[in-house]
Amino acid sequence: MAKVACIGECMIELRQAPGGLFLRGFGGDTLNTAVYLARLGFATDYITALGDDTLSDEMIAGWQAEGVGTARVARLKGKLPGIYMIETDARGERKFFHWRENAAARQLMDLPETGAILQSLAGYDIVYLSAITLSIYDEAGRTRLFAALKDIRRRGVRVAFDTNFRARGWPDLETARRVYVQAFEAADIALASTEDLLPLYSGDSSDGLLARIASPEAVLKLAEPASIVRFGGARHEVRAEPLTKPVVDTTAAGDSFAAAYLAARLGGADPLAAAGAGHDLAGVVVCYPGAIIPRSAMPPAGTPKSRKASK
């Protein structure tokens, strides 16, 4: 069975409920992707750092219940997870508020066990991370991680990078742009969106944004329900199927797209069919509140259908 490692941060999630109340859960972009990958039948480990508190214990138990491996989760004495709050408008669009400056995950690249964790990445078929992952580490931590990614690519491991952008995670846009360039160069697969990249490269066209991505395989999700897929030197447009239910919450739309795309590629599907699978799962996820939909709502697993695309 193919194995995937997802690197990042899971936080305590506070989500709006009726009456001005909030529901507590757990979430994070790469963690959401890990859960959906596990549900799609792939052996998936989550790599992060947590505290030694009861909330961190709950996270571990929840991930294990979803089939996500936790052997590579570092536990730090006296530390806590970060917190984020989701605010959604009438159209289901979301805004995030974060409290994470002292979260345990920020120390993952600076621990006694960091070397062993990075060496373990050579045992996976795909290693997945996001721009949010990179934003929580300092310059030395990112350098250490990029060196490890370069090493495992030489050993045949594919690296997938998601451009998930949160401006507050970066000291300035110039730093973010520089790290994105490094990440695109370090990745075999780039999962991008105009929503993520236009704040960094204002005024660029879709073709201009794609030209900035050095990764040999790239998906650029558009503002409309479609994506541009570039591989083998050619670009193709893949359109999403129309939704049959109203959009409730767009949280984790991109995370679930990434999971379905990578699952399809690991299963032997071509990038066009993989993009279609990504759109299909994301189209289900946005019809439910929160990042992780009920198991009963998951579409049946199977070989993604082939997609017609326009160049």
Domain boundaries, the chain: 3-297
Please state, in angstroms and rounded to a whole number, the distance separating the CA atoms of residues 282 and 194. Answer: 16
The predicted pLDDT at position 3 comes to: 98
Q: Lowest mean pLDDT: which of 76-90, 104-118, 213-227?
A: 76-90
Mean pLDDT of 96-103: 85
Could you tell me the pLDDT band of residue 309, with boundaries at 50, 70 and 90? Answer: low
The predicted pLDDT at position 305 comes to: 65
- In contact, 279 and 229? CB cutoff 8 Å: no
Q: What percent of the chain has a predicted confidence (pLDDT) above 70?
A: 96
**Closest alpha carbon to 261 in 249, 250, 252, 273:** 273
Q: Which residues contact 138 (CB under 8 A, 6 or more apart)?
A: 109, 110
pLDDT digits (tens, 9 = 90+) for 160-185: 999 999 999 999 999 999 999 999 99
The predicted pLDDT at position 217 comes to: 98
- In contact, 311 and 235? CB cutoff 8 Å: yes
- In DSSP notation, 259-296 reads HHHHHHHHTT--HHHHHHHHHHHHHHHTTSSSSS--GG
- The answer, yes or no, to whether residue 158 has pLDDT greater than 60, is yes
Of the candidates 29, 162, 255, 280, the residue annotated as catalytic is: 255
Report the DSSP pairing between strands 43-51 and 73-76. Answer: parallel
- The answer, yes or no, to whether residue 310 has pLDDT greater than 60, is no
The predicted pLDDT at position 71 comes to: 97
| Token digits of residue 66 | 């979803």
Please state, in angstroms and rounded to a whole number, the distance separating the CA atoms of residues 5 and 249. Answer: 27
**Closest alpha carbon to 63 in 26, 14, 113:** 26
Sign of the torsion formed by the C-alpha atoms of 104, 106, 112 and 114 = positive
- The answer, yes or no, to whether residue 301 has pLDDT greater than 80, is no
The predicted pLDDT at position 249 comes to: 82
| Token digits of residue 201 | 């490269």
- In contact, 192 and 213? CB cutoff 8 Å: yes
CATH topology of domain 3-297: UDP-N-acetylmuramoyl-L-alanine:D-glutamate ligase (3.40.1190)
Residues, the chain, total? 311
The predicted pLDDT at position 253 comes to: 94
Q: 195-203 long-range CB contacts below 8 Å, 24 or more apart?
A: 195/165, 195/221, 195/223, 196/131, 196/163, 196/164, 196/165, 197/163, 197/165, 199/165, 199/167, 199/173, 200/165, 200/173, 200/176, 201/177
Distances (CA, A) of 148 to 56, 118, 120, 142, 151: 27, 6, 10, 10, 5
pTM: 0.93
pLDDT digits (tens, 9 = 90+) for 7-54: 999 999 887 788 888 888 888 999 999 999 999 999 999 999 999 999
57 catalytic residue (yes or no): no
pLDDT digits (tens, 9 = 90+) for 246-291: 998 888 999 999 999 999 999 999 999 999 999 999 999 999 988 8
